[in-house]
Structure 1
Amino acid sequence: MKLKKNYMKKLTALVLGGLMTTTMASAAMAESVDMTLEESVRTALDNNYSIKQQEAEYDSAVWARHQARRSFGPTVNWQSTATKMGGKYNDKLSLSRNYGNTLSLTMPIYTGGQLEGAIKAADLAMNANELGLELSKQKVKAATMSAYYQALQAKNQIKVAQDSVNTLTEHLKNVNAQYTVGTVAKSDVLGTQVQMANAEQNLINAKNSYDVAIASLNNVMGLPTDTELNLTDSLDYNVYEIPLEECTAYARSNRPDVLIADYQVAIAEAGVQQAKAGYMPKVSAQASKSWAGDSPFGSEETDPRYQNNNNWTAGVVVSWDIWDNNVTQSKVNQSKAAVAKAEAAAENTRQSGDLEVRTAYLNLKAAEKSINTTQVAVDKAQEDYKIAQVRYAAGVGTNLDVMDAEEKLAQAQTNYYTALYNYNSSKAALDKAMGIMVDLDVSKLALPQEAAK
């Protein structure tokens, strides 16, 4: 019996300990994390897998460039053979072994521009991939800022909904008090209660939208979706003074995708250079040494026949396809078509960039105007609601007037916060459209204007 009691005590302690541990863990998980906009962007840049993928692409391009440059150096090749031969000789079975070894060195001297074109293309591809990495970072930054602003907008909508609930709660108290003394009808109480229920439902929906927005922001940042965040920044308004023309010009010089498109043109032109190498002769220096015998690595001392199978060569080899049935011409024409395709794609990228900049800029300016007008509307709606309340309390206004004024106030506040959201999100979209750098000064990688055409 005593053993059973001790066992039960230990079991209870373990259960309570487990519950306490779970509670502490839950409390730790429930603790919110303060997050500024800048911190959210940096977190996303550190965790995003598309960036990691682009980093691997850049590393691959670096090694491809290394490979292309090394192709202009010497190569040393070792070849070894071992054969066994059998048959009859003078009605006697014969079996012999033969070993051969060749050590050769080859170095290109002139390739007609083929290796030079390959090296140029590899250099360009490496820079294009570095620009691609910056482009990936800019996309992640824009997506993070958009998600952060959406969460702030959802947070503001909670404030609007909560203000409506608070306002209607006070008004309902006033209506009940007047109904108790018989100065208003029952319909006023019922109407206010319905309006109150609708406001509470709006508050529930607003909180749910905020939870979804936070989960989306966590997903963009690479954090667990249930991480609780305390967004410390707000939707602010600062006048944007840069004119559209300057924004467009900046985008044409700094957008990574525009610069990448120019690089694709230059890479295609390097391909033409490589294709034209088929018209030219190829010159290389070669040297080799070979030996053969009955043993894998025979020597003059152990195999007298070895000295008759030991030789070396050194010289220059020239090869020229004088007629290749127009294969080279076909390659050249194909490469020129690739250049035309790349040039068309580059121009399309520039025009798409111009449109993206203009769209974001116009949205920004429209939101900027809306901020001023909606702020005035909020002030007037607040004044109108106060007047409606005073009139109702004095018995010269109706409950419908109060309900209508409250709805207009909530709508005006919603419009104001929406204008702030549109302004900030349009500003983020404009930064991305212009190619505002994240980690790389892309202007240093811009091709000369002649090469970019």
Structure 2
Amino acid sequence: MQLQRKLIGLLGAMMPLAGVYAQQQPPATKDVQPLSVQQAIDYALANRNSIKTAKLDELIALARNKEVSGLALPNISATGTFQDNPVIQKQLIDASNFSDTIPKGTLVPFAFGLKYNALGQVNVQQVLFDPSVMVALQARKTLEELANKSVVKAEIDVKSDVYQSYYQVLSAQKAHKFLSENISRLDKMLGETQEIYKNGLAEKLDVDRLTVQVTNLRTEERKLANTIDVTIATLKYQIGMPLNQQVLLTDTLDVNQVKNIGEDGSFSYQNRIEYQLLDAQKRTNEYDLKRYKFAHLPTLAAFGNFGASRQSNTFNYFKSEMWYGYVAWGLNLNVPIFNGNQRRSQTDQAFLRLKKSETDLDNIRQSIDLERQTSAITFKNNVYTLDAQDKNMQLAQEVLESTRIKYREGVGSSLEMITAENDLLTAQSNYFSALYEAIRAKIAYLKANGKL
């Protein structure tokens, strides 16, 4: 009964969350959907919002990388301008410069330009050498890898949640099956005792004791049934399934499979997605440092402009009048000389970020070592506890059978029967608690070793 109370207490806290989630879900089919643990994982990977968010972040990173690629491609733009000059600005010029017959110092106002002006121009720019662009192009693959690994980490976290929720349901269902068998056995014993009491060979106290025990067990059975409903709702939430969708779990809880971890002795820090993320971040910081180091180098770009213009004192631009074209091209060289030591400060910051990444990698290696050792010890202890509780449960079952035989033969009391029954219930509760803890320990061990 301790197992039932633990499950109710643990999952009761999840019920408000599951209720909110249920209100947000679309109507689901009433057909029962078979669900293995692998199908549950596949469903979660396709429907969990955390996975969708991680994949959207990956697409954003890929789009940002395409933006970086555009820095190395030609930049082409076109402009068009139309200008109306109601009053044209005039300037004074010395008219003697145009004729020897005009006295020196004769100033004449002169208007440069016409009333209407139109201009069309195409500008082309192409980077020929820019270290920052080169480094950005080199870093694209690492940035894509970083975004992809964020998706992988989200998937691993979802797998861990689904595994625990799925096997939590199986554990509760198996506990419910055992409890139902206990009730059937005790109910049968109650019926036999009532017949014996009618024949005057048993006391009413014996009947009352068994009646109270059966009532208590049926109460616990209802609580455990409610607990199973909550665990299934939690599983649906974990995989992103509508809560009103009926499911049937098809996998079984194999104790031998729980104990088997398939250890092959091989391990690499690269097995852990957290290490891969930090390693990719370190390489990104290396490119960042490289970019600032190359910032002192000159940049070279080519440009070209071509267009056509027309000026007129009358608005007749829809007629085929003469347009005057022009073309210009050249190179633009930019040589950094002094920028107030900003580049040096930026380089120092990038260097410190790189050192911090190296420290983070060293720290996570130590953390992984601790997790692996702790999870291995915890798993072994839980398996040992599971075996011990299994033997204890079998022993309690044997004691109950012996007590039942004695009671039927009239050499045992109903109190001994109830005590043996309670001992079996306690042993079963301890067994299922140990079983679920072993499942959790196995999942933690596989996750710590990067095998989940």
TM-score above 0.5, yes or no: yes
In structure 1, the residue matched to 2:4 is none
- Change in Cα spacing, 1:409 to 1:302, as seen in structure 2 (3 Å) is same
**C-alpha contact 2:123 2:303 (8 A) present in aligned 1:** yes
Within 5 Å, give how 1:76-95 maps onto structure 2.
Answer: 76-87=76-87
* Residues 1:370 and 2:370 are matched in the alignment: no
CA distance in 1, matches of 2:229, 2:32: 13
CA distance in 1, matches of 2:36, 2:353: 46
In structure 2, the residue matched to 1:100 is 119
- Give the unaligned 5+ runs of structure 2: 1-27, 91-108
**C-alpha contact 2:114 2:311 (8 A) present in aligned 1:** no
Task: State the Cα deviation string for residues 258-306 of structure 1 (Å, max 9, x = none).
Answer: 111111111111111222232111111222224433269989x834xx6
Query: Over the residues paired in the alignment, what is the CA RMSD in angstroms?
Result: 2.8
The amino acid of 1:389's aligned partner reads: R
CA distance in 2, matches of 1:78, 1:293: 17
Question: Which residue, out of 424, 427, 433, partners 1:412?
Answer: 427
- Change in Cα spacing, 1:173 to 1:39, as seen in structure 2 (3 Å) is same
CA distance in 2, matches of 1:298, 1:77: 23
CA distance in 1, matches of 2:381, 2:428: 18
The amino acid of 1:85's aligned partner reads: N
In structure 1, the residue matched to 2:104 is none
Task: State the Cα deviation string for residues 74-124 of structure 1 (Å, max 9, x = none).
Answer: 2222233333333375699x972223333222211211x201221233221
Give 3-state SS (helix, strand or coil) of 1:87's partner: coil
**C-alpha contact 1:64 1:122 (8 A) present in aligned 2:** no
Q: How high is the TM-score relative to the length of structure 1?
A: 0.80
- Change in Cα spacing, 1:124 to 1:321, as seen in structure 2 (3 Å) is same
* Residues 1:183 and 2:205 are matched in the alignment: no
Within 5 Å, give how 1:248-397 maps onto structure 2.
Answer: 249-250=267-268, 252-294=269-311, 302-303=321-322, 307=324, 310-397=325-412
* Residues 1:167 and 2:185 are matched in the alignment: yes
In structure 1, the residue matched to 2:19 is none
In structure 2, the residue matched to 1:202 is 220
The offset of 1:149, in angstroms, is 0.4
Q: Which structure has greater helix proportion?
A: 1
The amino acid of 2:81's aligned partner reads: T
**C-alpha contact 1:41 1:221 (8 A) present in aligned 2:** yes
CA distance in 1, matches of 2:30, 2:311: 81
Q: How high is the TM-score relative to the length of structure 2?
A: 0.80
Within 5 Å, give how 1:54-65 maps onto structure 2.
Answer: 54-65=54-65
The amino acid of 1:268's aligned partner reads: N
The amino acid of 1:105's aligned partner reads: V
CA distance in 1, matches of 2:66, 2:449: 33
- Change in Cα spacing, 1:223 to 1:334, as seen in structure 2 (3 Å) is same
In structure 2, the residue matched to 1:240 is 260
In structure 1, the residue matched to 2:21 is none
The offset of 1:224, in angstroms, is 2.0
Question: Which residue, out of 205, 210, 216, partners 2:234?
Answer: 216
Give 3-state SS (helix, strand or coil) of 2:139's partner: helix
Give 3-state SS (helix, strand or coil) of 1:59's partner: helix
- Give the unaligned 5+ runs of structure 1: 1-27, 438-453
Task: State the Cα deviation string for residues 345-378 of structure 1 (Å, max 9, x = none).
Answer: 3334434433443343333222221232122112
Question: Which residue, out of 128, 140, 152, partners 1:122?
Answer: 140
CA distance in 2, matches of 1:69, 1:433: 38
* Residues 1:429 and 2:449 are matched in the alignment: no
The amino acid of 1:382's aligned partner reads: Q
Give 3-state SS (helix, strand or coil) of 1:147's partner: helix
- Change in Cα spacing, 1:241 to 1:32, as seen in structure 2 (3 Å) is closer
Q: Percent identity?
A: 23
CA distance in 1, matches of 2:29, 2:154: 31
- Change in Cα spacing, 1:78 to 1:30, as seen in structure 2 (3 Å) is closer
- Change in Cα spacing, 1:400 to 1:256, as seen in structure 2 (3 Å) is same
In structure 2, the residue matched to 1:9 is none
CA distance in 2, matches of 1:213, 1:297: 81
CA distance in 1, matches of 2:316, 2:223: 85
